[in-house]
Copies of this chain bind each other. A is one copy, B any other.
Amino acid sequence: MDKSETIIKSAIKLFSVKGFEGTSVREIAADSKVNVAMINYYFTSKEKLFESVVEYRTSFLKGVFTDLINNTTLSDIEKIDIIIDQTIERKFSNREFHRLLHRELSLEHRPQMRDAISDILFKNMDSVKTIIKNGINNGAFKNVDIELTLTTMIGTIHYLLTSDTMCRKILGKKKNFDPFQNKKLKERLSEHMKLLMRLQLLKK
């Protein structure tokens, strides 16, 4: 792993936990054990470093559902099931980074950053939108409010991820319960979402 990658890894960790403004370049330098000047040497600025962080982490999840759209062996509801499980898996295992993205998304200064993030997040949502649309045209799905159905799907999963503390509170769990190491929570959420989407989408 080269030096610039070490810096990015530290930046991801610190930005995620303490926020962009809450993290100093010196903290990142200390964590990645490089000289402070190396950060500007490789990334020219803290802001550009953030862009690199976003690029680095999201590049592998760009257009993950595009294959599903043209898949003809799976039924529409089976596609939704897969999307639910993959989304839960992906968001759960990158939850701190996921928090970082949404935190920055909700800030109105630095519009450039915000727009870049919303582009990435929306790309995947758009694939799901197409799949639901196809389901409706096929006659497999009811004529639901597509955009808001989508929002429910992502929003439910997202809300649980906001914070460990809040998640424990919602689930009525004790302090020693780690929501995101818990296998049962993932299964429980998956089951809930699949049931919900069936109720919403499938005709009787």
Spell out A's residues near B (CB within 8 Å): 17-19, 21-22, 99, 102-103, 105-109, 114-115, 118, 121-122, 125, 145, 147-152, 154-160, 162-163, 165-166, 169-172, 188-189, 191-192, 196, 199-200
Contacts and interface: CB of A to CB of B under 8 A. Distances in A.
A59 B94 CA distance: 34
Contacts of A169: 118, 122, 125
Contacts of A159: 151, 154-155, 158-159
A107 B22 contact: yes
Taken together, the copies of this chain in the complex come to: 2
Nearest to A154: B159
Contact of A155 (B18, B156, B191): B156
A151 B172 CA distance: 13
